[in-house]
């Protein structure tokens, strides 16, 4: 009897603790995809399951002078937006071209308001990637080996990598080298700049659309893109004067509209986040698509 009384007393003493433990356990939420997956946030396209935590390759194509509306009116560009993801609230940083290209590659316009040549300190994403041991190339149409003297359709103002340190990096190569690299040793960052006609600057957005229809399938059929890669396509500035341009996010893992407010600093933030190097300049405070691109679950589309 004494033993039974002792046991009862022990049970009574432990009862509140057991009840509290059971209550705490019951109140613990199960892992929620909407909480853990950034793609469930407002303004982000739906994400598909991914087999890898980080893409191995990033491709960037920069085109010229088209408003969001005029770009999305083109047949091939529209098909990409329908099949993949498009940022609907993405903006340039004003006119002319050069400050936008500098912002996309260094996180600063450096106070420049023209398209003239300005030697800047050795910096930018190319320098950051080289120092981190991350491979990269800038593929330029019309480039003949000289950043400062290659003929039309090449344009120095569309090659920001020549401004940092006042030198022509060995990583800048002719666009014709892209096809070979896609079939072999593709760099982790491929920056692609068409010439002054194919980028839409001199020949209009329809010409850029036709050029994309030939080049994008080469990228999306490559092992580099198919193994968790992402292609980002944007325009340096709007032709409508409203600052709104498109950003196409071509990856099997995102689809729909992204309404988050972003600009060219966000593109740089996304690229550096994807490649695992520190953000540069003003991109440090900018929204990035990195978390959405890493999403492991499917969330409902919004935006």
Query: 245-296, pLDDT tens digit by residue?
Result: 999 999 988 999 999 999 999 999 999 999 999 999 999 999 999 999 987 4
Residue 211 lies in a domain: yes
- The residue-averaged pLDDT of 43-49 equals 55
pLDDT score for 45 = 66
Residue 104 and residue 177 in one domain: yes
Look up the CATH number of the domain holding residue 207: 3.40.720.10
Residue 61 and residue 198 in one domain: yes
What's the pLDDT band for 50 if we cut at 50, 70, 90? very low
pLDDT in tens, 85-100: 999 999 999 999 999 9
Residue 10 and residue 90 in one domain: no
Residue 94 and residue 206 in one domain: yes
Residue 15 and residue 141 in one domain: no
Q: Is residue 143 left, alpha or beta, with left meaning phi > 0 and alpha meaning psi from -120 to 50?
A: beta
pLDDT in tens, 100-126: 999 999 999 999 999 999 999 999 999
Query: Is pTM beyond 0.85 here?
Result: no
Residue 53 and residue 145 in one domain: yes
Residue 109 and residue 151 in one domain: yes
**Of 84, 90, 83, nearest in space to 68 by CA:** 90
pLDDT score for 44 = 54
- CA gap 178, 24 in Å, rounded: 57
In terms of residue numbers, what domain contains 177?
Answer: 34-293
pLDDT in tens, 174-213: 999 999 999 999 999 999 999 999 999 999 999 999 999 9
- CA gap 63, 212 in Å, rounded: 10
Residue 108 and residue 207 in one domain: yes
Residue 190 and residue 234 in one domain: yes
- CA gap 65, 79 in Å, rounded: 20
Mean residue pLDDT of the chain comes to 85
What's the pLDDT band for 7 if we cut at 50, 70, 90? very low
Burial class (CB in 10 A: 0-12, 13-18, 19+), 131: exposed
- The answer to whether 296 and 50 have CB atoms below 8 angstroms apart is yes
């Amino acid at each position: 009897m004494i033993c039974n009384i002792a046991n009862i007393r022990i049970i009574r003493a432990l009862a509140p603790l057991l009840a509290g433990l059971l209550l705490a356990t019951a109140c613990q939420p199960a892992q929620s995809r909407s909480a853990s997956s950034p793609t469930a946030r407002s303004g982000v396209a739906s994400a598909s399951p991914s087999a890898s935590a980080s893409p191995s390759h990033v491709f960037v194509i920069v085109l010229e002078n088209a408003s969001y509306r005029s770009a999305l009116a083109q047949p091939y560009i529209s098909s990409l937006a329908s099949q993949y993801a498009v940022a609907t609230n993405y903006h340039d940083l004003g006119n002319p071209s050069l400050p936008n290209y500098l912002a996309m590659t260094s996180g600063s316009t450096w106070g420049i308001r023209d398209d003239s040549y300005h030697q800047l300190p050795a910096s930018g994403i190319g320098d950051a990637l080289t120092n981190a041991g991350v491979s990269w190339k800038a593929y330029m149409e019309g480039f003949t080996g000289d950043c400062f003297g290659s003929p039309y359709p090449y344009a120095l103002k569309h090659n920001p990598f020549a401004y940092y340190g006042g030198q022509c990096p060995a990583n800048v190569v002719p666009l014709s080298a892209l096809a070979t690299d896609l079939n072999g040793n593709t760099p982790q960052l491929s920056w692609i700049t068409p010439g002054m006609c194919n980028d839409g600057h001199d020949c209009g957005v329809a010409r850029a659309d036709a050029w994309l229809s030939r080049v994008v399938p080469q990228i999306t059929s490559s092992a580099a893109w198919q193994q968790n890669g992402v292609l980002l396509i944007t325009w340096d500035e709007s032709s409508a004067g409203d600052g709104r341009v498109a950003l196409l996010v071509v990856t099997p893992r995102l689809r729909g509209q992204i309404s988050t407010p972003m600009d060219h600093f966000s593109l740089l933030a996304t690229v550096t986040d994807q490649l695992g190097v520190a953000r540069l300049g003003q991109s440090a405070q900018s929204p990035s698509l990195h978390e959405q691109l890493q999403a492991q679950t499917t969330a409902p589309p919004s935006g």
